[in-house]
Structure 1
């Protein structure tokens, strides 16, 4: 039984097709990478899965239950969405913003308890934010803010974490940290759908890739199956670099972290 299943999803905007007959499947414990050039429909698909927008036609189910039948409170606990651009209007502390990720698990006006605090503390450590916990969010750099927002999504402990370009503002070391955290989230029995432009990170960390082009699925499968010369040429107008006449493996990652934070 698939955790999340979408079939024949169509989305239009201003009478223009954004997604066309897209299917998507997510299994428990899996990281699915959504890749494709700018304008391919990746962020739209993620917004659709998060419930931010609705499909014109098609079906979407969570654990074989139509997602429209799942109460919003339950969806908030089971699906966390990290959009590409987020703004915090109030001068809140980093720790307070992360704490808000526990809101779907609380009753109205209920404060976080000891178990919630343990989860928050663990995530703060894992996302390398101990030194920032008392800082105002608005004083942080773009990359630091991105890590705070990821931490807020992770403390929800969702079945599904939807992350739209979570590493785009990060330096290489913290890119690896974030991807390791997302992979660890999957290894603990949860699932992730992540939009990525870095094909090396996508190939190295994701269990499967889904390549979108012009709002349609061009290819789906392992990195070796998806990132072949034809698909790269058709979608991106690029080719794999060759060494000694042989194309480099798409899963090649030219660097690694000197140490792990956890």
Structure 2
């Protein structure tokens, strides 16, 4: 059960956070949120797909880890098997809190009900003996700020994709070495044909607004789907 609270050096002076990885810590997920300013780091490891949240009209971008709910092919027991860890996982159990209006500067909040909250001396301290933020907390706050900035800027990115109709539905059927099939449905990808058909003015606008690079990164990331299938085959073969 989530219990969000503003992070406070007095109330949370002795709080610790576990920084290891594991299914019991929330890492057993098929996909996680990513944002356009992170696509360059994501594309070398994970496919970037787009989807609508249930009951929502707006798209979000996700980094794909597996083909089934709860499957993370980059989670090897207590080891993260990739050189990059997406921000939305790396910042847990922290989040940004804002006034109900949504305006104003963000504040670091913490989910006191998260599995990463350490107990009995487990984990890394957030504040030192003098109540100052530890290097771990400073790094976490920096990552949280980068994710929040990217999320708030992503509305303009998705608006541009809508303006030029650059998202197309994506269905993937993968046959594995044992003959079984995995299907991905409900996702979208960049429509490369429509991107290629854009005129110079449209491309100039996308470039000028900073959207062209993340579009290219999202397209490049699709080459990781074959590597994801290879990971699935290895896991099924090795048990």
Q: Which structure has the larger Rg over C-alpha atoms?
A: 2
TM-score by length of 1: 0.27
